[in-house]
């Protein structure tokens, strides 16, 4: 259909990696999830950065906390990675005060 385009030949055999890559995989078992039974039982956290473009306030990092029980998300903007622990203490104090846990 296209003039000057080289023909692509079909391989005679597939490599072992290709065969394994196309094999069916079992799904995760949904019934065995570990869930928090109270606020602050499990907290998921992520630190993103250093961003290529800082925020308007000059922050280069983004810190998130997600409480597995109540599913609330808190987001903090950080100028330095060294601020993570201080923001975690603030987050923990805030949630403990609001939830009573």
pLDDT tens for 66-93 read 988 888 899 999 999 999 999 989 988 8
Q: Work out the end-to-end distance of the chain between its first and last CA atoms, rounded to an integer number of angstroms.
A: 69
Q: What is the H or E stretch that residue 101 is in?
A: none
Residue 100 is predicted with a pLDDT of: 81
Task: Report pTM.
Answer: 0.61
**Residue 63, Cβ density class (10 Å: 0-12 exposed, 13-18 middle, ≥19 buried):** buried
Tokens of 77: 């903007």
Residue 6 is predicted with a pLDDT of: 77
Residue 1 is predicted with a pLDDT of: 60
Looking at the DSSP bridge assignments, the partners of residue 48 are: 62
Low-confidence ranges of the chain (pLDDT < 50): none
């Amino acid at each position: 259909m296209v003039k000057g385009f080289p023909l692509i030949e079909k391989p005679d055999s597939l490599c072992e990696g290709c065969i394994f890559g196309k094999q069916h995989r079992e799904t995760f078992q949904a019934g065995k999830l570990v869930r928090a039974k109270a606020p602050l039982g499990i907290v998921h956290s992520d630190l993103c950065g250093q961003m290529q473009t800082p925020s308007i306030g000059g922050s280069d990092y983004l810190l998130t906390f997600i409480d597995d029980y109540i599913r609330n998300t808190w987001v903090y903007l950080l100028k330095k990675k060294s601020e993570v622990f201080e923001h975690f203490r603030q987050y923990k104090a805030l949630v403990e005060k609001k939830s009573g846990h």
